[in-house]
Structures are given as C-alpha cells and as structure tokens.
C-alpha cells in the first residue's frame, strides 16, 4: 500500500493546478461524466477517479484502504426471500441494497430515504435466512451489493418473487440519489415510478443470469 500512496503523491506533485470541471479525486486528472469509482473502505466513501488511479486498486486479494468498484451485473432469479422475511428486516420501503463492510466486519443494509441512503438496523436472523442462498457469497466486500426489489401486492393476490441483482455499489447510490431527486408526495409520483421501472429494466438487460 505504501508504494501505491507514493505513486499517487508523485502524480499529484507533477500536476498543474486543476482547471474547472470534474476531476479525479486522487490525482486531479480531468475525467469524463462516465468515469470509474473506488471505495474508501475505512471512510465508507465513494470516490470519482481516472482510469489510471482506478487500476491501482483492482487487486481484490490485497489489503488496501481503497478498492476499485467492478462493473459486473448478475441476476439471481427465484431468490430465496419472501414478503414475511422482508418485513422481518424492518425495511419500510420495497427496495434495499446489502453489502459486507470489511472495516466493520459485518453486512449493512441501506434503503432510499428523504435524506438519501438510509442505513437499516439489520435484523441478523432475517439476514441469515437470506444468506442461505449460496449466490450471496459471490458478493465482493465493500464494492458490490445485493440490490433487492420486493413487488407490492394487493390483498388476496399471490406474491411474486423479488427482483434480486448483484450490482456495483455505485449503481446503488446512483439509484438512491436519483430517486430522491424525482420523488414527489407520498407515493413518489409518476416521474419516480417511471425512473424505478427504467432503472431496473436497464439492470435486467445488462445482467448475466445466475440460476439457483
């Protein structure tokens, strides 16, 4: 890790003062709107980076303070989670994402709230039942999340299985942030509902299916 920090220090030292515009948060290189991210594991922060800085942190087996966010999308059909188990997790909305925080050495859960991503007081018994699905073990610590959507059901209707995807952690924060910007009133409004459908349709189109 020390060598990596030294490399970044030299890069910063050789850079001129940054011009206005979006910049890499590590070396100040100009970056485009479509850029890579790394996670500050201890600070639990997402950082925008250039491709060069991103590649410094792609070794998933090294003990690094920063980790590059991968870009894989996987779909988990027939995921072992029903509505009763979802309610036991005490998540008040139909969406949440789960990931293992290596600094805390535990799984954390977040859901969309008025202030953005809201952390849930995760019920461990409920999470252990979710973990019974072996596909959960595919998640990379800190940088990948299990994004779950539980469909609404009317009284008397048969519950459909939840939508469940393994996604990059930055996709989850994008979802929560944009949903917060579009949400109106009690039920979110038409714009928020359209965004939710478009977002999950885009994930489904890009995800490789992993059977149970």
pLDDT in tens, the chain (212 residues): 445 445 444 444 454 444 556 899 999 999 998 899 999 998 889 999 999 999 999 998 778 899 999 999 999 999 888 778 888 888 888 899 999 999 888 899 999 877 788 888 877 777 887 888 899 999 999 999 999 999 876 545 556 778 999 999 999 999 999 998 888 877 778 898 899 999 999 999 999 999 99
Tokens for 46, please give them: 């997402």
C-alpha 155/C-alpha 171 separation (Å) is: 33
Tell if the pTM clears 0.85, that is, is over it. Answer: no
pLDDT at 31: 94
C-alpha 133/C-alpha 181 separation (Å) is: 33
pLDDT at 158: 58
Cβ proximity of 74 and 140 under 8 Å? no
**In sequence order, what are the residues at sequence separation of 6 or more whose Cβ sits closer than 8 angstroms to the Cβ of residue 133?**
76, 79, 80, 81, 212
Beta bridge partners of 46: 39
pLDDT tens-digit map of 3-57:
544 544 444 445 444 455 689 999 999 999 889 999 999 888 999 999 999 999 9
CA dihedral sign of residues 129, 134, 140, 145: negative
Parallel, antiparallel, or unpaired: how do β-strands 208-209 and 74-75 relate? parallel
Count Cβ atoms below 10 Å from residue 174 Cβ, excluding itself.
14
* Backbone angles phi and psi of 37, in degrees to 5: -135, 150
Domain-wise residue ranges, the chain: 2-68, 74-209
C-alpha 181/C-alpha 188 separation (Å) is: 10
pLDDT at 12: 46
Three-state SS for 48?
Answer: strand
């Amino acid at each position: 890790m020390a060598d990596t920090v030294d490399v970044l220090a030299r890069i910063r030292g050789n850079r001129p003062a940054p011009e206005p515009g979006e910049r890499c948060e590590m070396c100040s290189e100009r970056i485009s709107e479509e850029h890579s991210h790394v996670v500050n594991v201890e600070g639990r922060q997402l950082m925008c980076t250039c491709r060069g800085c991103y590649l410094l942190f792609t070794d998933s087996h090294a003990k690094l303070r920063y980790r590059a966010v991968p870009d894989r999308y996987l779909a988990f059909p027939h995921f072992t989670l029903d509505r009763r188990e979802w309610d036991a997790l005490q998540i008040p909305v139909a969406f949440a994402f789960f990931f293992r925080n290596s600094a805390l050495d535990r799984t954390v859960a977040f859901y969309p709230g008025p202030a953005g991503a809201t952390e849930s007081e995760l019920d461990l018994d409920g999470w252990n039942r979710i973990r019974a699905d072996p596909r959960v073990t595919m998640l990379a610590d800190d940088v990948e999340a299990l994004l779950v959507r539980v469909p609404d059901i009317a009284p008397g209707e048969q519950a459909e299985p939840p939508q469940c995807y393994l996604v990059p952690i930055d996709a989850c924060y994008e979802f929560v942030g944009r949903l917060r910007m579009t949400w109106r009133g009690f039920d979110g409004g038409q714009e928020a509902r359209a965004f939710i459908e478009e977002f999950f349709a885009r994930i489904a189109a890009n995800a490789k299916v992993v059977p149970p």
